[in-house]
Structure 1
Amino acid sequence: MDLVAKMAAKKAVVIFSKSTCCMCHAIERLFYDQGASPQIHELDRESRGKEMESALSKTLGCSPAVPVVFIGGKLIGSANTVMTLHLNGSLKKLLKEAGAIWL
């Protein structure tokens, strides 16, 4: 869990993902479309990916384990949460507060 927390704090937006997950690609695209440049960690390509996936699903209670989004070092949640924030207008505000976007 410490590794996930350290990685999540390194950039304004961090996404834990898998290269084969279509929902992960959709969430990544959403952030690019908002003007953010997220740090993406594809767990199926990371040497400690299985360990990180376990930490996300067991410790943080994220289900499914990916995609999981952190903004400003804080856990935002999975695709459902991110899409809800986007639809109600809160996502852009969070991105501004974290310094991920300026407009």
Structure 2
Amino acid sequence: MDRLNELAKTKAAVIFSKSTDCMCHSIETLFYELGASPAVYELENDPRGRDMEWALQQLGCKPTVPAVFIGGKYVGSARDVISAHLNGSLKDWLIQAKAIWL
């Protein structure tokens, strides 16, 4: 859990991902299109990826990826991020966290 918390604070926007997951790719693309450059941690490429996946489960991430953190806080999975994008709050969160500027 400590490593997860450390990594979640490395940038204003952080995505825990798996390279083979299409929803992870979609969320990453959405962030890039909004002008954010998130830190992306692919769990299958990290030696402690299984531990981080377990920690994400303890946070309530179901499915465990994509797990999105903005400003060091867990904001949710793909469904949560897409909902926030559709209602306009995702962009506001990214601006507040200084992940994007206008």
- TM-score computed with the length of structure 2 as normaliser: 0.99
Q: Distance in 1 between matches of 2:17 and 2:9?
A: 16
Runs of 4+ in 1 over 6 A off after TM superposition: none
Q: Distance in 1 between matches of 2:71 and 2:14?
A: 8
Q: Distance in 1 between matches of 2:63 and 2:36?
A: 24
Task: Give CA-to-partner distance per residue, 1:11-61, whole Å, 9 cap, x none.
Answer: 00000000100000000000000000000000011110000001101x101
Q: Give the alignment's Cα RMSD to 1 decimal.
A: 0.4
- State the secondary structure of the residue aligned to 1:44: helix
For 1:13-52, what aligned pairs fall within 5 Å after superposition? Answer: 13-52=13-52
Q: Which residue of structure 1 aligns with residue 87 of structure 2?
A: 88
- Displacement of 1:10 in angstroms is 1.1
Q: Distance in 2 between matches of 1:62 and 1:28?
A: 17
Query: Unpaired runs of 5+ in structure 2?
Result: none
Query: Unpaired runs of 5+ in structure 1?
Result: none
Q: Which amino acid aligns with 1:44?
A: E
Q: Distance in 2 between matches of 1:89 and 1:61?
A: 24
- TM-score computed with the length of structure 1 as normaliser: 0.98
Task: Give CA-to-partner distance per residue, 1:51-86, whole Å, 9 cap, x none.
Answer: 0001101x1010000000000000001000000000
- State the secondary structure of the residue aligned to 1:55: helix
Query: Percent identity between the aligned chains?
Result: 61
Q: Distance in 1 between matches of 2:19 and 2:45?
A: 8
Q: Which amino acid aligns with 1:42?
A: E
Q: Distance in 2 between matches of 1:81 and 1:23?
A: 12
